[in-house]
Structure 1
Amino acid sequence: MWGFGLRGRMAASYVLVTTTAVLLVEAVIAATFLIPQANASDLASALQEQAAGDTKVLSLEVARLAAADPGRGDRELLREAAAGAAGRTVAGGARPHAEPGFAVVETIVDMDGVIVASSAPGVYRPGTTLELPLPAGAVRGRPARPPMGALEPELRLELPMPIREGGGNGPTRAGPAIWHFSPILVKDAGEPGGFGAIGFVHAQAPADAAVTDLPDLTPMVVLTLVVLALVVPVGLVFGLLSTRRLIGRVRRLAGVTTAVAAGDFRPRVRVSGSDEVSTLEHSFNVMTDRLGAAVESASLIARTEARQAERGRIARELHDSISQDLFSLSLLAAGMRRAAPAELRGQAEAMERTSARAMREMQALLLELRPVALEDAGLVPALEELCRAYETRLGVRVEAALEEVALEAAAEHAVLRLVQEALGNAVKHAAPTTVSVRLGRGADGGVTVSVSDDGTGFDPAGVAGRHGMGLALMRERVAELGGRLSIDSGEGGTIVTARLT
């Protein structure tokens, strides 16, 4: 269920992304091509552009007519210019507005606001006065423009400033509208700048033309639904197929994780590809290797500590019970030997020798089991202390040839216990007079430790199944360190050699 849930969520994400992309594309198309909206400022700019264009045409026509007949009045110039520009301006009645959907009306008025020409004579009839305010600087009732150069310099100062464009919005004959005035200029020496206005081009459009009617979006909605009906199943199938391999890898990783959590560190994840999941697979394998090694090391330490604790407990039990009984038995045998009649004295002496041998073996066993301070002194001092203890307590000559070698803590502990067990076996079973302990580094760079004695030998194969000599334990210690243990025994004594790499 976990894998299916993840796969389902990833497939759902594909569908969601695909659906969102389709809706965004449809929205952009609708906003760009199907639902164009013009605000008031856009409409005013369009009116200004149209009026300015027509003004240029009319200004040129007025300049031509004024040059041909300087005595004509302004209103006559405007009327003849509008007639001469017919076909090139809206007011002339021929050129349509450049923005379809705008109900544009254009008129030509003189400085008194009287309509000279109109593109909608039914509403704005020529000869009537336009009720809209003219731009600032326009003077109604201004006398006819005098001939160019006829004005005196002092009179020129009383003329108004150059007339600029202007516009506004509000009620008109045609209803609420937005309008714009653009002055029709003519060269005039009496005006500042050398040009004067003799009229205006007035362009207006209904105010509700600022927001166009929304088109019928039903076909587009139907098309969007059809596209979604086709895209959603495709996105779902693509999502399921494209995530199949990824989900399989995640499932394998989850299975191995479950095994590791249960304590089995053997399984590994097969690393495939070079993406983030493969990095996770490789890291998981490395983590499992290290975790397994750490658990094995902790287990080894725990077994070693448990073994040492058990050895200490056994040593205490032997010392407190059996050693005391053997000591009492030796005392009783010595007393019997002294008090027994001659015919029983031989048996008493045999009992005394047996008890003494048992005491000797018990002391050797206790020395084998006793703990030695390795951490504080080091390997060589600990081995020297061990050799002196055997010499002092058991009267056996121990020759030590010890070389300082660098070993890990676990290896030092194993070497110490190996020598301890080999010395105990020699004293208990071989009755030697001399024992040699040697520690050094061989020609191959490995560490060699050997314990040899001149006592009675034994057959290593014949004691393989018996307990008490510790051969199996010594082999186990050396094997844990990756070394080899060899035992050579015969009539001349026994040599136990361990080689650590």
Structure 2
Amino acid sequence: MFSRFGLRFRMAASYVAVSAAAVLIVEGILLAIAVPQIESARHSAQTAEQQAKRAETSQAQAKARVAAIGIASTVGSSASFLATGQPELSDGRLLAKAAKKLDTSLIGSPNTTDGGEASTGPNPDTTEATMAVATVGGDIVLAMGISTPTIPAEALSGGARIGLKTVDGRTRAWAVQPIAITNASDEPGARTIGLAYEELPSPPADTATTPISNSQRPMTESVTGLITAGALILVLLVPVGALFGLFSTGRLIQRIRRLALGTEAMADGDLRSRIPISGGDEVGQLEHAFNTMAERLEQAITAERDAAGSAARRAERTRIARELHDSISQDLFSASLVAGGLRKALPSETLLWRQAGSMEVTLERTRREMRAMLMELRPVALEDAGLAAALEEMCRAYEARLGIPITARIELTDVIPAVEHAVLRVVQEALGNAVRHGNPTTIEVEVTGAGEKVTLTIRDDGTGFDLERVAERRGMGLDLIRERVEELGGTVHVVTAPQQGTTVRVML
């Protein structure tokens, strides 16, 4: 969407977006902390209200139970007294007569169901209460209070019980207590003749959602103020963030533009293009990486050009070797045959016979040197086969072409390219020197080492030479060997003497 705008505008927009996101995240965290506190306070208020309602319910049940116990005790005492004087009365008649004697000042005006007289003058504290005396089966004998109650079925299951019930949408607590009388003397123990039932108003058992209390309002107002402040910050952040982004990215954009220009220059072929490193940050690291890339690219192209020149030189050496082999070598061979035939045709021990023999030896030595020179001109496939294989191939080629047994022991591991080329050329030069000048019957080649450290030993059993007079002789190639080795910081040691062979030891 913003790709058509510049990097500077997009970075400014990103600053605004990141800042706005930070504000929203902080707002979210603060709200996440405040809202649970409000909810916890509301829950605590509801829990406290529920506990208060449960306490009121328990208190109402306790009052109803105490009242039921009082009614049962009063009616039971009256019934026991009546049973003593009138033992012929049934339990129902005893219960009805005893219920009529209740203290109406304590339990309120009765509503009788047995046609008895009801006293007046209700207790003001029991105007919401309902009392009843009933038989064991649940038939109400006497009812007092605001209405005639309906005794719950679970109250008739025997024993003292308490509970809750709903009447006209309101919750009421009830309690039931058995009414027992003492039997006549011929009937030991006590028996239950009825039930005392008390019913009182109670708060509802269910919990409704309560409004936020006064203590919660400050917290709610704090949350509202927090949201308002966050919205105001977001409104002010847009112009401030945009200006900050535009001013703070000026130098960065300039550095990136300079890097882009350098890249375009390199793409146009200017491999010497470099960018000044303007800092140690990521852009500075990118500038340093650009300069490093440019240097390596320039070195790679230079190496490629050198490799192309080396390939051309190898091709030229191959052509020269082929020309020498096809022309001069054949002529030398023909001249050697002529000299041999001339020596055989002349009388022995004559001057011409000795000159013909000398000519034959000279031509044979020249042919031998020519073969050695052709071997030096012959390219070796170092890149394809590796150094160890190239040295093995070189030794076999010298042995096959020159007829000199060569013992080779090559033990090399991970030799660097610069050392590889030096080792190959030193061994080739040493073998050529031995063949051309030493006239050996056997040659030993030993190359060992790894990485940058390599040891070379080329030993022959040829004629050897005098080291003090080596400067007077030409074509030995020792100077070339020393130059190659000293370029890599190595050393060359030559051990030789006339008719004692030669040993060349090179340490790289």
* TM-score where L is the length of structure 1: 0.50
